[in-house]
């Protein structure tokens, strides 16, 4: 419980301290919000066919089409805003038959998946609201129609090109198959919800979200480069996780780019009364 109280304090200290680092004059104007803004997006389709898949006793096939449209403003005094709308629909009438589609695809959904305010200067980026995040054990898991998305506060500190730090406090979550953000995860209300023994504690469980802290560093040794990452996650009411990733890269030999790597992960339950399974925020 002590770790949970530390996270808000870290965020409270970091935000005002690094906002003050942008003491240099800012020449932005209100019109920059529009003239420097941008719109992006993509179209997506997904055709899925299973033959006696594990979650369906019959053959099934489905086609899903959708995409994303995102609008981002320019900066005014280092602040900007962004919004992204996601959609995924199937034209097939078989959608209403639960035996004829895979429930993990996420179909017939429309959602405002990103809606945030962002602060950025040379050292720091702070984002508050609905957003996509990319960390080893909390990310978009984007291999379906609509990615997994998060609601909360994220902070990225980059005092140097060779090292940096990242922090996040996430309070709500949206899985591939949901159009709403709530206090759940993939085990309690997502596409992989567990029910029945030994998962009695999962269905309907509302969590307090999670927080994470990470550090990365790059060291160059002439022809070699060492990339290091250290992460800590507190999936509240579920588990604590430490992750280390080391990668030593060598100069290319023709078309070969040799490297050696090492990864270490250690996880402990937050409570002995709940099953060990924190990977509801992982990509795989």
Q: Residue 258: give its domain's CATH number.
A: 2.40.160.10
Task: Kindly state whether residue 169 falls inside one of the protein's structural domains.
Answer: yes
Question: Who contacts 164 (Cβ-Cβ below 8 Å, separation ≥6)?
Answer: 156, 157, 158, 215, 216
Task: Kindly state whether residue 266 falls inside one of the protein's structural domains.
Answer: yes
- Residue 84's pLDDT band, with cuts at 50, 70 and 90, is very high
Task: Kindly state whether residue 148 falls inside one of the protein's structural domains.
Answer: yes
CA–CA gap between residue 146 and residue 110 (Å, rounded): 9
Task: Kindly state whether residue 280 falls inside one of the protein's structural domains.
Answer: no
Task: Kindly state whether residue 281 falls inside one of the protein's structural domains.
Answer: no
Task: Kindly state whether residue 282 falls inside one of the protein's structural domains.
Answer: no
The total domain count for the chain is 1
Please say if the pLDDT value at position 167 is more than 80. Answer: yes
Compare 148 and 54 and report the one with higher pLDDT. 148
Compare 136 and 58 and report the one with higher pLDDT. 136
Please say if the pLDDT value at position 20 is more than 50. Answer: no
- Across 19-40, average pLDDT: 63
Please say if the pLDDT value at position 14 is more than 80. Answer: no
Q: What is the pLDDT of residue 30?
A: 65
CA–CA gap between residue 159 and residue 236 (Å, rounded): 30
pLDDT, tens digit, 9 for 90 and up, residues 203-261? 667 788 999 999 999 998 888 899 999 999 998 878 899 999 999 999 888 888 899 99
Q: What is the pLDDT of residue 158?
A: 94
Q: 249 is in which domain, residue-wise?
A: 2-272
The string over 228-258, giving b where at least 16 C-beta atoms fall within 10 Å of a residue's C-beta and e elsewhere, is: bbbbebbbbbbbbbebebeebbeeeeeeeee
Contact 220, 249 (CB under 8 A): no
Please say if the pLDDT value at position 277 is more than 60. Answer: no
Highest mean pLDDT among 101-115, 122-136, 250-264: 122-136
- Residue 108's pLDDT band, with cuts at 50, 70 and 90, is confident
- Across 90-103, average pLDDT: 63
Please say if the pLDDT value at position 168 is more than 90. Answer: yes
Task: Kindly state whether residue 284 falls inside one of the protein's structural domains.
Answer: no
Task: Kindly state whether residue 283 falls inside one of the protein's structural domains.
Answer: no
3-class secondary structure per residue, 187-235: CCCCCCCCCCCCCCCCCCCCCCCEEEEEEEEEEEECCEEEEEEEEEEEE
């Amino acid at each position: 419980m002590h770790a949970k109280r530390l996270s808000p304090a870290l965020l409270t200290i970091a935000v005002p301290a690094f906002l003050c680092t942008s003491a240099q004059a800012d020449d932005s104007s209100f019109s920059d919000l529009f003239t420097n803004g941008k719109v992006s997006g993509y179209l997506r389709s997904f055709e899925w066919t299973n033959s006696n898949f594990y979650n369906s006793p019959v053959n099934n096939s489905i086609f899903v089409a959708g995409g994303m449209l995102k609008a981002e403003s320019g900066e005014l005094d280092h602040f900007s805003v962004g919004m992204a709308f996601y959609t995924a629909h199937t034209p097939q009438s078989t959608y209403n038959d639960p035996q004829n589609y895979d429930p993990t695809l996420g179909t017939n959904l429309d959602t405002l998946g990103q809606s945030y305010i962002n602060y950025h200067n040379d050292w720091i980026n702070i984002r508050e609201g609905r957003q996509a995040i990319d960390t080893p054990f909390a990310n978009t898991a984007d291999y379906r129609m609509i990615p997994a998305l998060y609601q909360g506060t994220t902070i990225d500190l980059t005092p140097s090109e060779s090292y940096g730090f990242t922090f996040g406090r996430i309070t709500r979550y949206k899985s591939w198959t949901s159009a709403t953000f709530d206090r759940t995860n993939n085990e309690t209300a997502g596409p992989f919800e567990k029910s029945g023994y030994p998962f009695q504690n999962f269905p309907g469980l509302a969590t307090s979200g999670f927080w994470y802290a990470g550090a990365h560093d790059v060291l160059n040794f002439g022809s070699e480069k060492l990339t290091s990452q250290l992460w800590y996650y507190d999936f509240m009411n579920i588990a604590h996780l430490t992750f280390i990733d080391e990668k030593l890269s060598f100069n290319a030999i023709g078309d070969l780019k040799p490297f050696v790597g090492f990864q270490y992960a250690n996880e402990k339950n937050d409570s002995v009364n709940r099953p060990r399974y924190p990977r509801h925020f992982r990509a795989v």
